[in-house]
Structure 1
């Protein structure tokens, strides 16, 4: 399985669950954010955590091989081309509709927390289940800050953590870098352009933190 980062909460997750490669894109953002969204992305599935310019550029994701891209933007259980997705209602602190997701691909479970701004409830944790790789917002502002994100990591106890919503050049919204988050966790980070991982290669003891460069 491979994970790359477009910026903000947008990731491309791809793998070969059955036959041939399939891809999923999370929270495609508008160029009005200050970041230019990639022009050449195609995916079988798009998951959207909330409605805002940071997550609603759905038309920017092309359909693969003339097949319609399936869009998930609310709670429920879905399966598309061997990718299993569970959406869990997790409204923001002000009551704004928001969904977090459990994504299963190649026997790896990924928790995608979108633009979450609070800790998870016991019920939300129960629906998400055990998570191997957690994608958690950590840049502050309208999403979790470093301390809050570290608290959510402590709730879930994943084997790998990938911070999202951290500062990059060009972004109009001011966010913190990942440094404060890494300090809160008290672990070292590994930086890379893309994460390529298999179930057997996941950390068995100490949790790992992966900081992805924007694609």
Structure 2
């Protein structure tokens, strides 16, 4: 069965990343800010040194799928179902299982790393994957929908590349605890579901987004919810930009001075 093979693949890449950790050159910059929080764990990851002008390209492909193109040419597709971002084939895909629009059991051939946000055996799943210039890890959250509760069955994925900390909240269903925030650490860029119904209600989602204090907020998973229903809850401390295109290029040197909600075309 594909899911079994998928988890076997995930276990293999985690083992490879763990071996690489033995040759750590510097700690994860995204976790350093979390070191002083209650019960925080300082996570070390072998990251490449990044110049402040190294550029990451972020593209909204559709639904909850963003494409992340790294300076070294690695392409990542988030919450990958195959409907968006399948061409050209990404090197890494992440998936969540809340709905079939967030995963696929029949991924196209050629994807090097398939990272599910859940474990069919329960107990959560842990990813620690280094691919060239990007380090990928996850923080599990619970699924609670249609009266069904599954602990640690969804994942927030964090991508550390070019000195940037990029987070994708996945199909988040509940508010986060202090432990979650500590495990996530600093996020310069965060991708946030703003449907307000199938995921967490907008009051809770905006609260999480404000606390994360990211420089760039990228909405996704909007469905028919007016964008203003989310932005109005964020308060006056956030700028709002509507872009004509579906991509933006980001580096440490060009992060906005004020936290900015950027709505790319198609969202």
- TM-score tier by shorter-chain length is 0.7 to 0.9
Are 2:67 and 1:12 equivalent residues in the alignment? yes
Q: Distance in 1 between matches of 2:261 and 2:108?
A: 28
In the alignment, which residue of structure 2 is the partner of 1:72?
Answer: 115
The alpha-carbon distance between structure 1 residues 159 and 188, as it changes in their structure 2 partners (threshold 3 A), is: closer
Counterpart of 2:179 in structure 1 is 123
CA separation in 2, counterparts of 1:148 and 1:176? 15
Which TM-score applies when normalising by structure 1?
0.82
| 1:109 counterpart = 2:160 | no
Offset at residue 51 of structure 1 (A) = 4.9
CA deviations over 1:80-123 (Å, ceiling 9, x no partner) = 22211111111123433111111111111011110102211111
CA RMSD of aligned residues (A): 2.0
> What residue in structure 2 maps to residue 181 of structure 1?
230
Q: How does 1:43-58 map to 2 (within 5 A)?
A: 43-57=90-104
Query: Counterparts of 1:197 and 1:15 in 2: how far apart (Å)?
Result: 10
Q: Distance in 2 between matches of 1:37 and 1:101?
A: 18
Give the direction of change, closer, same or farther, for the CA distance of 1:69–1:51 in structure 2 (3 Å limit): farther
Structure 2 unaligned spans of 5+? 1-55, 117-124
Instruction: Kindly provide the CA deviation profile for residues 60-90 of structure 1, in whole angstroms up to 9, marking residues without a partner as x.
Output: 5553xxxx42011232311122211111111
| Deviation for aligned residue 1:41 | 3.3
Distance in 1, Cα, partners of 2:253 & 2:89: 28
C-alpha spacing 1:38/1:12, structure 2 compared with 1 (3 Å)? closer
CA–CA distance in 1 between the matches of 2:192 and 2:231? 12
SS of the aligned residue for 2:76 comes to: strand
Q: Residues 108, 58 of structure 1: CA spacing in aligned structure 2 closer, same or farther, 3 A cutoff?
A: farther
CA separation of 1:199/1:177 partners in 2, compared to 1, >3 Å: closer, same or farther?
Answer: same
Structure 2 vs 1, CA of residues 138 and 2 (structure 1 numbering), >3 Å: closer, same or farther? same
83 and 59 in structure 1: CA distance in 2 versus 1, 3 angstrom threshold: farther
Matched residue of 2:102: which SS?
coil
TM-score (normalised: structure 2): 0.67
Larger-Rg structure: 2
How far did residue 26 of structure 1 move?
0.5
Which position in structure 1 is the counterpart of 2:39?
none
Deviations 1:119-156 (A, max 9, x none): 11111111110110011111122112322221111221
